[in-house]
Structure 1
Amino acid sequence: MIVRIMGEGQVRLDDSHFPKLNELDDELMTEVEQNDHEGFRRTLAALLEAVRSMGTPLPDDSLEPSELILPAPDATIEDVRAMLSEEGLIPLEPPARS
């Protein structure tokens, strides 16, 4: 799966990492709902770091479509709230590939 972190670029991420990412996504969603700015900041940083460390960066000139878009590290709670779906930022299951 190709994941874009806004303002940074793309990484290729194996679907096997979804359970860990979903744990962090659930925490982030709760913090957004509770307006917990401190927890939100900490968990967003942990989520983005997990994607960076588990993924393989794509070259800057790569034009592959992103299957998942995550907020920039400096995103606000309001920015992330606007991006959330019922499942959070990360779907419960990896997108099906055609």
Structure 2
Amino acid sequence: MIVRILNEGQWTLDDEAFAALNAHDEEIESAVESGDETRLTSALTALLDEVRRVGTVVPDDSLADSDLILPDAEATLAEVREWLADNTSGEGLIPG
């Protein structure tokens, strides 16, 4: 699966990587529900760091559609809340 981090780039991730990403995703959802911007930034940073750690960078000159798009670490509480609301599956930022 190809994951894009807004304003940064793309990474290819194996399906096995998503279990760890889901734990961070749950923390993001919890931070949004509680309205805790500091906690959201911390959880979002941890999620993006995990994508970078386990993923393989897709070269900039490669034309590949993203299967999943994530906000950057500077996303606000309001932006992530809207992002989650747009996800009709109710699965947070990470599917599954």
**TM over 0.5, shorter chain:** yes
Residue of structure 1 in register with 2:94 after alignment: 90
1:60 and 1:81 mapped to 2: Cα distance?
Answer: 29
The Cα shift of 1:42 comes to: 0.6
The Cα shift of 1:61 comes to: 1.5
Q: Hey, which bits of structure 1, 4+ residues long, moved more than 4 A?
A: none
Taking only the aligned residue pairs, the percentage that are identical comes to: 51
1:17 and 1:68 mapped to 2: Cα distance?
Answer: 13
TM norm structure 1: 0.90
Residue of structure 1 in register with 2:62 after alignment: 62
Query: Unpaired runs of 5+ in structure 2?
Result: none
The CA RMSD measured in Å over matched residues stands at 0.7
Structure number with the higher helix fraction is 2
AA in 2 matched with 1:90: I
Query: Unpaired runs of 5+ in structure 1?
Result: 93-98
Residue of structure 2 in register with 1:10 after alignment: 10
The Cα shift of 1:48 comes to: 0.3
TM norm structure 2: 0.92
